[in-house]
Amino acid sequence: MGGDNPILRHWQTELQIFSKNFSLLQQQISEDAVHDLRVAIKKLRSYFKLYVTLSEKEFDKTLFASTAELFSLLGKQRNIEITRKSLLSLAHVKRESLSPVLIYLQLIQDQVGEYCRRSIRHYKKEELVELTTRLENGLESFSPEEILDGTRKLIASSMVNVKDHLNHFEEESHLVRKDLKDIFYRAKIFGNENLFPKEKLKTIDKILDHLGNIQDHEMMVKNLKAFRKTILSKRVDEYGFIKEIEDKAKKRKKDLLRKANEMTAKLADS
């Protein structure tokens, strides 16, 4: 059945990617494994929600409970790692000037890492096995034409959501990102020009890059502000130094928001 059904075929591909990176994380938490496993979870969740919508059922979040916990904790690990890497990439800043905040971030990352390892140890592997069974049994009742037509309607509905979010893009950019990811993942299942043109998918991919960078800059600002407010006094030199880096990150985020907004508006109008 998996070889005949495009949703199941992609589901099983992402299951393999999940399994491979989960095994790697059981040995050691690494940046690449965290990223690849989280992307696999995003796709699995999108594919299952597609099936649920086709079946006209309600999405039960408890079915993904253990996987969602793992996804969330690894996301916190990733956000701190991205902030550390972003700080180290600042060419105009001397490494020793960053030492206090890097130590602060490392301590937090170590704590998050402990929770990640615990979540990995306690992860319920049977959760995705059960979801696979539900998917296999549920999709048997749909013809390829019904799946394609249902996916087309769902993509159109997601584009309507994207248009609605344009009026409050800055506040709702995370929702735009979520909808565009679903469109991207679901359209790629079929590779059908009639479902969603390749040029538009390329545009979505670029917008998602901008939105991902916006998220990284937002987390950088939050992490730096937490360090500044929790550790520093306004009278110490480091306070103004960290505030300056925050302000530059905010400006970069604003520029990225503007670009993403413009590109999304053009996509919605095309």
164 and 262 housed in the same domain: yes
pLDDT value at residue 191: 73
Judgement on whether residues 135 and 151 belong to the same structural domain of the protein: no
Query: Which residues contact residue 185 at a Cβ distance below 8 angstroms, ignoring those fewer than 6 apart?
Result: 42, 43, 46, 47
The per-residue pLDDT for 4 is 73
- Considering the entire predicted model, what is its pTM? 0.91
Domain boundary residue among 141, 157, 179?
Answer: 141
What pLDDT is stored for residue 165 in this prediction? 95
Report the residue count for the chain: 270
Predicted local confidence at residue 26, as pLDDT: 96
> Residues 120, 194: one domain?
no
Q: What is the pLDDT of residue 2?
A: 44
Low-confidence ranges of the chain (pLDDT < 70): 1-3, 91, 192-194
Query: What is the Cα–Cα distance from 108 to 96, expressed in whole angstroms?
Result: 19
Q: Are 11 and 132 in contact (CB under 8 A)?
A: yes
Burial class of residue 28 in the structure, from the number of CB atoms within 10 Å of its CB (0-12 exposed, 13-18 middle, 19+ buried): exposed
As for how many domains the chain has, the answer is 2
Q: What is the pLDDT of residues 188-223, one digit of tens each?
A: 888 766 678 889 999 999 999 999 999 999 999 999
CA atoms in the 13 A half-sphere facing the CB of 127: 21
Same domain membership, residue 171 and residue 209: yes
Query: In angstroms, rounded to a whole number, what is the distance separating the alpha carbons of residues 270 and 253?
Result: 26
Choose one of 141, 169, 193: the last residue of a domain: 141
112 shares its domain with 164: no
Residues 163 and 126 in one domain: no
pLDDT at 193 (0 to 100): 66
Residues of the domain holding 169: 143-270
Q: Report pLDDT for 242.
A: 92
Same domain, 108 and 153: no
Do 20 and 103 reside in the same domain of the chain? yes
Query: Do 182 and 266 have their domain in common?
Result: yes
DSSP 3-state helix, strand, coil percentages of the chain (rounded to 5)? 85, 0, 15
133 and 5 share one domain? yes
Q: Of 114, 141, 168, at which residue does a domain stop? A: 141
Q: What is the pLDDT of residue 97?
A: 83
Q: In terms of domains, do 99 and 152 share one?
A: no
Q: Which residues contact 84 (CB under 8 A, 6 or more apart)?
A: 102, 105, 106, 109
- Are residues 149 and 264 both part of a single domain? yes
